[in-house]
Amino acid sequence: MKRRSRFVFSVLVFGYAFLYIPLVSVIFYSFNDSKLATVWGGFSTRWYGELFRNEQILDATILSIRVAATSATLATIFGTMAGLALVRFGRFRGRMLFSGMITAPLVMPEVITGLSLLLLFVTLQQVFGWPAQRGFSTITIAHTTFSMAYVAVIVQSRLSAMDQSLEEAAMDLGCRPARVVVDITLPLIAPAMVAGWLLAFTLSLDDLVIASFVSGPGSNTLPMYIFSKVKLGVTPDINALASLFILIVSITLLSAWFVIKKQERNS
Amino acid sequence: MTTPIKEDRLWQRITVATPYLWLLVFFLLPFAIILRISLADPIIAQPPYSQTISFDNFLFLLSDKMYALTYLKSVLMAAAATVLCLLLGFPMAYGIACSNQATRSLLLLLVVLPFWISFLLRVYAWMGLLNNYGVINNVLIWLGLTDQPIQIMYTDTAIFIGLTYTYLPFMILPLYATLERMDLDLIDAAMDLGASRTTAFWDITWPLARAGVIAGCLLVFIPAMGEYVIPYLLGGPETLLIGRVLFDEFFVNRDWPLASAVAVVLLALLVVPIVFLQKSQAGDAEQAS
Amino acid sequence: MTDNKRFIRIRGISKHFGDFAAVDNVDLDIGRGELFSILGGSGCGKTTLLRVLAGFESPTAGSIEIDGVDITSVPPYERPVNMMFQSYAIFPHMTVEKNISYGLRKDRVSGADIAKRVDEVIDLVQLGDFRNRNPDQLSGGQRQRVALARALIKRPKVLLLDEPLAALDKKLREHTQFELMNIQDELGITFVVVTHDQEEAMTLSTRIAVMEQGRFLQVGEPKEIYEYPNSRFVADFIGTINTFEGEVTAANVGSIAVNSQDGGALTALGEHDVEVGDAVCIAVRPEKIFISHDEPEDSDDIRIKGIVDDLGYLGNLSLYRVRLESGRIILVSQQNRRRSAKRSIEWEEEIWVSWRPRSSVVLVD
């Protein structure tokens, strides 16, 4: 019963083309044999090979993955707690402030978050002596802070949609409130928590500005490395890196989607 | 309408307190520190700011025309990108909401997929497309529309395209969420009563979609205001936006107090839209429940 | 030793949400083993009262005692009360068996005992083939039985049921009604049912409380409430009733006479606290009214002339809408007890409606 006009359909096509042409172009040029990244010199996979021999990239990648995994896990824990508190605990003291602090990081420009956290770390160092060296821990703290906002939003949305009588039924049958969360709530919001973790992981892996502010000498994340290279212009090895990234993300997301669709069709 | 049961609330307190404390320390406290440092003077020391209190930085910002222009330009750029995202994103969100269930999830996935790919790499991809030897110019020349490559890279237009490209999913998703909840029978009813397609849109669709529009616009405008990477990579040396100014004052000039002052003024400009967004989200959540 | 008639004692329970009193100072005694229904329209407060009984809402005032123990401030997970939710609230991530045994696992009952009791209760509700199914593979009726089994397995002192039959289709509803009554009879558990469906309440219950705007209007056995409603609201809420407003013309021992605008002179039996000149309402149920072509013979009968405005033949019943001289329409229903040789009653015919004085109900508010 729902129909689309031709106008809407053409905008849809244009929109998706707009979104995907740059990605396709990068993949295309990653196989370019020429050092001049956008002038076609023949088909080659040499840039992919060079990627794996580049120590700096490998180190940066490892650091980025460590930070992303740690901050995603912390963000999921804190974000779920925050989501639970905001949806299930009714009015509590300081709720407005809490709610504001949870949603503000979603929109705050990164330069502000980055700057503010760096100044915090510097001040902390002056007063407490920690952190002496900025690096893994400071970047992880920063990423956890803004990622938990995203997890909280996702968890809140799933919790609001959940039938609250399930939790009441558990209590009615003799389950203490704290245990209800473990028995009933968490299993049912688990998909949201997983989605939150993945989102936090991606956001962390992707962050450039905040990491630039709060990292220290010797701790380069992957985006920081990429940025330092692309400042000078388009380079072929970054083309290869970008293509790898695009392919990995696309394949992962699409297969996840297929799996979910198949599950839905079976039940 | 449930009132929480009176019993041992310890676990509840812990659940609230843990993220609360974290955010107080790592989100709120830093803002206080920025404010404090914005009132200091730069000195050659580690860390490079004094213990004095003065409004010099703010006076400087207000008096120097360059800063005022930069703020204004950032607002205009962000606003322009927001408008373009809306013009492009609304029909797209509408189209997705009108699709049948099967296509819908695939379409949504395709909107979200670029978002999961590194934002830096996507901006980088545009560098390849927009530069003088890039794809767009190659295509234009091949089509015979121009002889010489058009300078798109390092101009405001490039920044504009980059902003729209990056933030388009942020516009589509909240719009889709609102449109999806809307009962499309209402439009049929309006047309049955004599409204044309356009009138039905303005009378029925638009008012109901307003909440989603507001959310989408703010989700684009607020972060776009402070963008750093896109102006840096796609813009020229003359195109100064406030995000870049902040970064440069801090890292290049090592003038922490001035950078803090820039941040404070930017925040002040954004407070109204941020609060507006929070209110609208809260209202929207109440309506949905 | 608890008084069996006062197994559940509700005293002065109020529940306010801000200024709004959802439950307004109610008192109620429910006996052990009763199947008690709280009947009312939406927004009357019955669900709030049920939730207070279950422990999900703390009352603003008042106390609740069950079997002699004050449970007012006892949390829901420690009350000897279990609830069957309107949405059934089956845990989607557990099988039928895990759902049913959940309460026992929380009580740390031994595995062997759990297995035995699960078997018992699955037999009782006839879910034997569905033990290992997931909730999304069950029909509505099956889910309800899981919800019931899950609540019963803990052998609570009181079982609360929130609109138990609302989600079922008509045939299933009838079947389930009797099933519930049998189970309750067999186990002897006190049931408190909340419903908006008066037919349901009348069929299931030993006693009914009619609730409106947070208060109980009348509490009593189904027959009592139907035949002797104490207010216009109750009279109108249960079944249909015809009302005649009028003024008392004579108040004698054992009967009163009323002059009504629509019905003329009416009489009612019994002791009523009224005086001559008081405004009262005489009410009579449609099935108590007799309709005939000829004037009724018994001079005691109340009689009014009228014209058949509309009629409906329902097979077992005939329904008539009769227009009285004043223009007022009243409802009459007659069982079609025999294939009558007499001339049947048709549209626009002039007829007499009549009823015995003892069928009149006097309502003062």
- CATH assignment at residue A242: 1.10.3720.10
Task: Determine the distance in angstroms separating the CA of C165 from the nearest CA of chain A, rounded to an integer.
Answer: 17
Boundary (domain end) residue, out of C236, C269, C296: C236
Is the pLDDT assigned to residue B71 strictly greater than 70? yes
B237 touches chain A (CB under 8 A): no
- With CB atoms and an 8 Å threshold, state whether B16 touches A98: yes
CA closest to B215 among chain A residues: A107
B86 touches chain A (CB under 8 A): no
pLDDT category at A178 given cuts 50, 70, 90 is confident
Among the partner-chain residues A165, A173, A184, the one whose CB lies closest to the CB of C87 is A165
- pLDDT at residue A35 in the model: 65
Local structure of C3: helix, strand or coil: coil
User: Are residues C217 and C311 part of one domain?
Assistant: no
CATH of the domain at C166: 3.40.50.300
Residue A195 lies in a domain: yes
Is the pLDDT assigned to residue B210 strictly greater than 80? yes
Query: Looking at A26-30, A106-110, C186-190, C282-286, which range is the least confident one?
Result: A26-30
A262 touches chain B (CB under 8 A): no
User: Are residues C293 and C186 part of one domain?
Assistant: no
Residue A158 lies in a domain: yes
Q: Which residues of B touch A61 (CB under 8 A)?
A: none
- With CB atoms and an 8 Å threshold, state whether C136 touches A267: yes
User: Are residues C45 and C178 part of one domain?
Assistant: yes
Average pLDDT, chain C: 90
Is the pLDDT assigned to residue B286 strictly greater than 70? no
User: Are residues C209 and C86 part of one domain?
Assistant: yes
User: Are residues C246 and C338 part of one domain?
Assistant: yes
pLDDT digits (tens, 9 = 90+) for C69-86: 999 999 999 999 999 999
B5 touches chain C (CB under 8 A): yes
Local structure of C52: helix, strand or coil: helix
Domain count, chain C: 2
Please tell me chain A's helix, strand, coil percentages from 3-state DSSP, rounded to the nearest 5.
Answer: 80, 0, 20
Q: Are A178 and A89 contacting, i.e. CB atoms less than 8 angstroms apart? A: no
User: Are residues C182 and C169 part of one domain?
Assistant: yes
Query: Looking at A152-156, C176-180, C268-272, C353-357, which range is the least confident one?
Result: C268-272
- With CB atoms and an 8 Å threshold, state whether C17 touches B5: no
User: Are residues C100 and C79 part of one domain?
Assistant: yes
Query: Looking at A234-238, B66-70, B243-247, which range is the least confident one?
Result: A234-238
Residue A7 lies in a domain: no
Q: What mean pLDDT do residues C211-224 have?
A: 94
Q: Report the 10 Å Cβ neighbour count for B62.
A: 13
- pLDDT at residue B2 in the model: 39
Chains in contact with chain B (at least 3 beta-carbon pairs closer than 8 A): A, C
User: Are residues C221 and C272 part of one domain?
Assistant: no
Provide the 8-state DSSP code for A177.
H
C313 touches chain B (CB under 8 A): no
Q: What mean pLDDT do residues A202-223 have?
A: 91
Which is more confidently placed, B165 or B205? Answer: B165
- pLDDT at residue C191 in the model: 95
Three-state helix/strand/coil letters over chain B: CCCCCCCCCHHHHHHHHHHHHHHHHHHHHHHHHHHHHHCCCCCCCCCCCCCCCCCHHHHHHHHCHHHHHHHHHHHHHHHHHHHHHHHHHHHHHHHHHHCCHHHHHHHHHHHHHHHHCCHHHHHHHHHHHHCCCCHHHHHHHHHCCCCCCCCCCCCHHHHHHHHHHHHHHHHHHHHHHHHHHCCCHHHHHHHHCCCCHHHHHHHHHHHHHHHHHHHHHHHHHHHHHCCCHHHHHHCCCCCCCHHHHHHHHHHCCCCHHHHHHHHHHHHHHHHHHHHHHHHHHHHHHHHHC
Q: Are A116 and A213 contacting, i.e. CB atoms less than 8 angstroms apart? A: no
Q: Report the 10 Å Cβ neighbour count for A123.
A: 17
User: Are residues C273 and C222 part of one domain?
Assistant: no
Chains in contact with chain A (at least 3 beta-carbon pairs closer than 8 A): B, C
Average pLDDT, chain A: 87
CATH code linked to domain B65-288: 1.10.3720.10
Among the partner-chain residues B1, B6, B7, the one whose CB lies closest to the CB of C17 is B1
Which residue range(s) make up the domain with C107? 4-236
- pLDDT at residue A172 in the model: 94
Which is more confidently placed, C308 or B6? Answer: C308
Which is more confidently placed, A42 or B15? Answer: B15
- pLDDT at residue C99 in the model: 94
Q: Which residues of B touch A117 (CB under 8 A)?
A: 26, 30
C81 touches chain A (CB under 8 A): yes
Residue A132 lies in a domain: yes
A102 touches chain B (CB under 8 A): yes
- pLDDT at residue A69 in the model: 96
Q: Which residues of B touch A21 (CB under 8 A)?
A: 129
- pLDDT at residue C20 in the model: 92
What is the Cα–Cα distance from A105 to B251, expressed in whole angstroms? 23
Q: Which residues of C touch B7 (CB under 8 A)?
A: 75
**Short-list C39, C3, C45, CA closest to C22:** C45
pLDDT category at B3 given cuts 50, 70, 90 is very low
pLDDT category at A4 given cuts 50, 70, 90 is low
Residue A256 lies in a domain: yes
- pLDDT at residue C2 in the model: 60
- Phi (first) and psi of residue A220, to 5 degrees: -105, 125
- With CB atoms and an 8 Å threshold, state whether C56 touches B5: yes
pLDDT category at B1 given cuts 50, 70, 90 is very low
Which residue range(s) make up the domain with A258? 56-266
Is the pLDDT assigned to residue A20 strictly greater than 80? yes
Q: Are C248 and C258 contacting, i.e. CB atoms less than 8 angstroms apart? A: yes
Is the pLDDT assigned to residue C11 strictly greater than 50? yes
CATH of the domain at C266: 2.40.50.140
- pLDDT at residue B149 in the model: 76
- pLDDT at residue C46 in the model: 94
pLDDT digits (tens, 9 = 90+) for B222-252: 999 889 999 888 887 777 889 988 988 888 8
Identify whether B273 is preceded by a cis peptide bond (ω within 30 of 0): no
pLDDT digits (tens, 9 = 90+) for C311-321: 998 888 899 99
CB pairs under 8 A between A and B: 266
Among the partner-chain residues A8, A202, A234, the one whose CB lies closest to the CB of B128 is A234
Is the pLDDT assigned to residue B134 strictly greater than 50? yes
- pLDDT at residue B285 in the model: 59
Is the pLDDT assigned to residue A22 strictly greater than 60? yes
What is the Cα–Cα distance from C49 to C63, expressed in whole angstroms? 12
Tell me whether residue C298 is exposed, middle or buried, using C-beta atoms within 10 angstroms of its C-beta: 0 to 12, 13 to 18, 19 or more: exposed
Domain count, chain A: 1
Six-digit token string for C164 = 């138990």
Through-space distance between the first and last CA atoms of chain A, rounded to whole angstroms: 26
User: Are residues C165 and C147 part of one domain?
Assistant: yes
Task: Determine the distance in angstroms separating the CA of A163 from the nearest CA of chain C, rounded to an integer.
Answer: 8
Q: What mean pLDDT do residues B122-147 have?
A: 80
Domain map (residue ranges) of chain B: 65-288
Is the pLDDT assigned to residue A267 strictly greater than 60? no
User: Which pTM does this prediction carry?
Assistant: 0.84
Q: Are A143 and A203 contacting, i.e. CB atoms less than 8 angstroms apart? A: yes
Local structure of A65: helix, strand or coil: helix
A163 touches chain C (CB under 8 A): yes
pLDDT digits (tens, 9 = 90+) for B86-104: 999 998 988 888 888 778 8
Average pLDDT, chain B: 83
Chains in contact with chain C (at least 3 beta-carbon pairs closer than 8 A): A, B
Q: What mean pLDDT do residues C23-29 have?
A: 94
User: Are residues C31 and C160 part of one domain?
Assistant: yes
A41 touches chain B (CB under 8 A): no
Residue A25 lies in a domain: no
pLDDT category at A1 given cuts 50, 70, 90 is very low
Residue A96 lies in a domain: yes
pLDDT category at C33 given cuts 50, 70, 90 is very high
- pLDDT at residue A39 in the model: 64
Residues whose CB falls within 8 Å of the CB of residue C172, separated by 6 or more in sequence, listed in order: C140, C141
- pLDDT at residue C140 in the model: 87
- pLDDT at residue C289 in the model: 92
Residue A222 lies in a domain: yes
What is the Cα–Cα distance from C205 to C184, expressed in whole angstroms? 11
Boundary (domain end) residue, out of C213, C236, C259: C236
Is the pLDDT assigned to residue C143 strictly greater than 60? yes
pLDDT category at A30 given cuts 50, 70, 90 is confident
pLDDT digits (tens, 9 = 90+) for C223-273: 999 999 998 899 989 989 999 999 999 888 888 888 888 888 888 888 788
